[in-house]
Structure formats: structure tokens, C-alpha cells
Structure 1
């Protein structure tokens, strides 16, 4: 993965990581508030269900006791027993004796005037019958829940089933709804018919509807549905309260993540990383500026000049990024890439034109790199070239320490490589190294070529090169006048815009072909 993609990835992760804790804290606050709210509602629903079971069980107990009576129905003893049962059982309001579903007597009157009971809505596993009767049922004037055995029925006020207090922080309502009839038997708050229908048709135990949360559970023995509900306003209030706890934590966590990721991003965007990524992505390409013999105008080779291709297609010149590579310690990697590109670009061309050469700029630090001669040797052997076709250019800084540079340069010359002194006269001031070093060519810097007819130093440089038996290459030739002056003073080779700018490999090969044909 390239550094650019890594930066994009880290930036995306940074945005995600900053937003995630905030979003998560909001979600957690809402989730915790909702869980607390629903747990309170569920707990209360269980209490109501336990209350319903307690009332039903008490009715069953009363019926079992009534069925033990062996005397005459509706006799004084029978009526006494029914009254005792009604008084001793808290939830039993009245006891009736039935004969073929018709009440004959009750704990409240010897001769009952109650209507004939309809068929029960449900019969439980123990054989107990259950009726859910409301005031609209023919023959009955009030809502009631009845539980019956073979001959007896106990009547319970529906409100007894929902007489449960909520001790929570917010009010919770209760309702009993007939499962088959859809009638509201008892409720602490009125229910709209549309809401009753939604409750009956609900497939889930918990749901939100309107501005309330609802919990629905069946009571099979009574054929009723137990409904509890509470307004969502306390949920929203609790959410806001919890948000004041979770949101600062989320923001703090986001800041911590952002701090660490920004440090990583800063490192990825450092000059060292950018330069290293450019080398790894092979964004450093090589252009070639022709070197010509000044007397004939015929091309003899080229200088390899590195360019850094940017994402927008523009090219950075070496004087911009070479110092960066030097400062970040990446010159060995950069030199290796340039050498590989030169052979990849020009290997076949050099093989076909053995009289041509390419000069490659190397850094003083490259002289300490033991892999440099090996790398050159491998590529020369691969392309079956002569070592003389690869020249090496060093600036004067490369000769600042003769003890280090002399043996390395001697070894490179022994391999067959010509050694150029690049930008002569602009760097290291001592000239004594010229006597100690064995080099081949001196390159006259463009600053000495500009307006050569007015320069007093340039003739001395030329005479010194002649005295040391060094060939010369003049850089930056741009005018006919400069060319004539250099020819008159015995400079053998030159390069510059007068001949050609630095060219991409295909353009250079085409230019050279035209140049040789014209010559």
C-alpha cells in the first residue's frame, strides 16, 4: 500500500474514529434509557400477571371448597357456606349456584334473578370455566369476570385484577382486554378502539405506538390479554440525562483517538515518508538531456536527470527533491531507482549504439555504498554493455574527503566508468584534490557559461582542465555566441537548450536519431 493510500485510509479512519464514539455514546445513552424504561415496564407487567394469577387461584380455591358441599342446593346451610366463602376470599364478590347454566341462588340472595350464563369463553386444563362479561352482554348490568366449576360460579370485579401500584419513577397504566371479544374489561386509563385493535393484532410482546411503549401478555385461563403501557416522555427525559454522562465520555474518547491518529497522519505526511513513498511507487522518472560534440554537433550521449512526477502530472526538478532525499537519508534508495530506470529505459538503445553513453549523477553518500559497483555490474552484464557507456557524475562535495573518495573513484574507473566532476567551481573551494584524483571529464557549470565573453574565470577553468588533461562538457548552452566562444576556447562537449531540453526516453531516442541522420 502506498503512503498516499495509507494517508487516505488513516484520514478516513480518523473521521470514522472521531464520529464513532460520539454516535456510540448517543446510541448507548438511548439504549440504556430504553432498557431501563422497558425493564421497568416489564417488571410491572410481571407484577400484574402475578396479581391476575393470584386472583384466579383464589377463585379456584373457593370453587374447590364449594364443591365439597353435600347438602341440598340453595338450602340455608348452602347459602351460609356461599356467604362464608365470599366473605373469606378477598377477591370473591359473589358466589352463585347454577343449574344448567341458570343461577338458582347466590351468596347475596336466596332466589337469584341473574340471567342464564352463556357458554364459557374458555375451559382451563383443570376444568374450570371462565366468563368475561361486560355491561353490554344481554341480561348483565356490569362488567365482571366469572370463574366456575360444575355447579358454582365465583364473581370477581375486573378492577381486582389491575389493582397494582407502580412504585417506579413514572406512571404505568394497565388494561384487561378480552382476547376473543376485543372488549376492554378493565383499564386504569381509557383506550381508543384503534389502539385496542392494534394491541389485539400485535405479533410482538413489546412495541411502541403513539407516544407510549406497550407490553402485551396473555392470561390463557381467563381468555384475556394483559396490557401495560407508559408514556415515552420519561424515556426521553432519562435519555437526555444519560446523554449528559455518555456524551462527554464519547467526546473525550474521540479527542484521544484523534490525537493519536493525527500523530500517525503527521508522520505519514512527513517529508521522509513522502520521499520514501515516491521511491517505492517509482514516481521518480528519468529524462535525458543530449550531450553533443561541439565541433560536429553530433550526439555522443546524454545526462540522466531525475524528475518527480506529481499527482497532477507536473514534474519537480531535482534541485527541489534531491536536497530532501539527502536530508532524509534516502539518497541510496533514490540512486538505485535512477540507475534501474536508466537501464530499463536505455539498456536496449545503448546496446544498439555502443558509441553512446549515459552519465548518471551520484551523491557523495553513494561512494560509501558498497552495493553501487555491484548494481552497475549486474545491469551492465544483463544488457551486455560496455562499462564505458555508463559515466558517473560527482559534484565537488564528493571529493571533500579524499581519503574516502579517492579509492572508491579509482575502483569505479578501474571498472571502466568515466568520472565527471559536475558543477565545477561552484562547490568545494580547494583545488588540490584535482591533482590527487584521477577523473576524466570536467563539467563547466552553467553560471560560467552564461555571458562567457564577459567572464574572467571561465578561461582559467578551461586552461586548468587542459593542463590536467581533462575533457570538458559545458552546461547550459543557450545561444550561438556561447557555442562559438566555447569552440574557440577548445571545449569539446556541451549540453543545453541550444541543442535540446531534457527529454523523455522516447523523445530522446527520436531526437538522437534525427541528430545522427543530419550529421
Structure 2
């Protein structure tokens, strides 16, 4: 995420769909706690909320101690179940990403004849496939159960694989295997799942599926084959009795969300193809411990006077609604506006256009940071309304300016729902035709995180391209996908995340990765931009390596539309907008 040329990254749990690139003001950075102020305004909605709160206060104050204890148990059980459910769905998401990656690697290798796979050119293909695949540790060539070679080279004494744990058609699978050419003791090596097809075998880094941060070490995480009932991989191995009982129960339609089997609370869910199931379990003692922690205060709360509860709920109600409700009101009241950060051509400093960035200032003057409202807008299905308002603002602010300067373009950020629907394209077509703006003056930026499912995004992205819009991938290098998926997307360019700009000259791995990204972009004919440029040495470095565009505080911060227009006119590019170098 680019913040007026600086970088502000939000962690994995903030947005499963991908973060839209919006920016904060200088005032927010200077006073980050300013947006915590909330005012109580006696509008109709808040009046209804207050009435409900008062009713609940009266009822809760009359609840007996037994009711409080029951609530404590339900709360503790839900909290544990939600935690396990979150772990299960995270494992499923990682499993699905790895499955997609496996299919891609096998598809890429299908054009490599087995007879040439262990020759120098073939070995390079094996190494490349493993390098660009996050979940693949090693690629091997097998024949009659023997490993002839891997990306590391030919084997003088080919190792033999035992009978597979599972076979289906031309696919064979082995679980918990030591990778080839490993000299360390087996107990010290992270074991792999091996999947073979058409003479090629992939040694997978399945630990990625279970590498979750959990607060309780007693949590069991596992993937189980529903056909063979074999444990495919574990973080902590479940008891066999629990597995045999649980598999049958969770194969019902629809499966239960959670079960208690023996002394375990279990949450499980099948994979999309129905071949396996992710499982998370904790001892019921964990729920009891959480219940005990809540039982005493909730029991006392049931005996306290209604006046105290009345005061507490009234105070909470006066402090404001949920963030989602505040966003809805802000959208209805037109509290969101747009500022613009120039983008320049690094070779000569000519300003070719800019990027539209959102601001949210409430009626009472409170500035809300995008780091707070963007994840909520995405989670509550409001991000599309926000995107639509931003597009409307852009054309209202600078539509005439763009129409009069056909060589100037503006970049607008898209969220995952925007990329996957036709809504945005219809709105853009209508507005640009009304204002007389050409399609290639609109650059649509989608963060890499929104394009993890590259195949799903291809169709809608191609429709944007066919309509004449330019497409780029923002914050490139910060997502979870392989670099190889770039070749499948109909995009014109990519924007390097500020993390890489900061690493220039540091000799860190990020510096090396940037070199690979630039090389790949050059091979694919993609234009490259860099964000967060703050020093002249960074700009010189990027120019020397073929980076075309840049934005950041070295050139300009985000500004209002009128100031942006003056800035562009003062540094207008001689040449028109660059033509696409790749047609995909």
C-alpha cells in the first residue's frame, strides 16, 4: 500500500480478498490517534440503538446467575470453535493455492520430453519450476519407482520410492517422505508429500499448510484423505480413534460445523474437490478453562444492579456505532473525497499522470485512517460502493482536465470484487464517454493479493483490456503467488512495492528478488513503475535497471485536484501515453 509515496503494509489477516490501495493524509501521520474520537449524534438510527440498549440493560440486569453461567459457556465454546474454524479455513485456502500451483507446474512440465528431462536444459527447467513455485521444494524425474534426477542433477545411485500411499489414474501420492539428496538425519529434515504424474514427481512443502500461529500448543491440525483415511500431514498428530470416528461424521451433507468426540472439540471441513478434509481440534479442557475465566465476572454481573449495567451500555452506545455503520453513513453523506499523487517518467521527470487516493474526513473533522476503514469496508461488502464513489469523484474533479489533455492518464485502484465483476467497466465507460476521456487514459491498478486466483481474474481483466483500459499489478512482490503467474495475466505493467525500493543497494534478499522481477518484466514486455521513491540515488538505480515510471516524495506528495492539474501542466510529457508492449 502506497501512502503518498511511502509504504504501509497491512498483515495477512486484514483482508482475505486483497487490500485496495488508498492513502492517508499528512495530518493522520502526524496525529495517528486523532481518528479515535467519536461524537454522539442523536439521529434516528442511534436513537433506535439507544432504545435497544436500554431494553437489553433492563433484561440483563434481571438475569439470574445461572443464565450468566450459561452465557459464559456459550461464549467460551463459540470463541474456541471460531478459532478452530478460522484455522481450518486457512488450511483449506493454503491447500487450494498449493493445488493450483501443482497443476500449473505439471502443465508447464508437460512440454518437456522425459528423455531430455535429465539433460542440462531439462535440469534447468526442473530448477526453474521449483524456484518459481512457493509450495514445491524439488522437482524430480522418476522411472519405474526410481528417482533418475532432480533439479540438482542426475543421481549416480537412483533412489527408489516405495509403493505409493495412494494411486488414482496416472497420479501417485506418497506422504511424509524425506526429500531426495538429503544428507542430514531423517529426524532433522522437514518431510514432504510427493505427488507424481507422467514421469515427474513434485516434493511439496506441505508444512506451509499447517504453519499457523496458535495460542494453545495443544491444538491438533491435520489434513486427512477422505478416500484412504490416511493422514496426509500434521502439525500435531490426532489419535487414530478420533480420526476414524470423525471422518464418517463429517462426510454427512451438510457436515456439522463442530463436534465433540471424546474429550476433544473438533472442527473440520472438506476441500473443494472432496478428496480431503482439514481438521483442527482442541481438548475440551481448553473450553472449560475459558469458561472459568468468564464465569466469575459474568456471574457477578448478573447480580449487579440494573443501574450499573444501564450506565455501561449507555456509555458504549454514546461512543458510536460499529465502523461498518459509520462507513455506510460516510458513503451516504459524501464524506469520502479523492486526492492525487503525480507519477513521473524517471528518465526526464516528465509528469505523465497520477494516482487517485481516498481520504475520509467525518462531519466533526475527524480523519479516519484507511488502515482502519478499508479492511472493514472489504469485510462488510462496502468496498464496491467506495470504489464507485472514488470513480465518480475522479471524473468530477479532473474529467474535463483529462479530456483536454489526451496524453495525461490517471490510475484508479481496484479491489478483488471490482476486478471480478463488470460493474466497474460499465461505470467507467459511461463516465469517460460523458466527459470525453479516452479509455487508455485510465490505468486500473489491482494489488497482487487480489489476483492470487489468476485464472479466475483473467476473463474480467481481459474485458477491461478489450475495452481499451490499461491494467497494472500494484504492490508487486508482496503477495503469495508465484512470479510465474504473471505470464498468464493480460496486464500492461507492474508497480514495485516500496519494500524493494527501500532495499536498493542493501544486498538483502529483497534486492536480489527485485532483480528477478525486473528481468521477468523485461522478458514479458511489461512496463515497470516503482513507488515510494524518496532519494535521488534510488531513482538513479531504478533508471539504470530499466524502470520506466516512479512516484514518491522525491517528486511530489498527494494533492488536491486543482494543484495536481497545475503540477502536471508544469511538467507535461512531450510524448503521449505509452502504447502497450504486450497483448495478452
Higher relative contact order, structure no. (Cα contacts within 8 Å, ≥ 6 residues apart):
2
Q: Return the index of the structure with the highest Cα Rg.
A: 1
What TM-score results when the alignment is normalised by the length of structure 2?
0.45
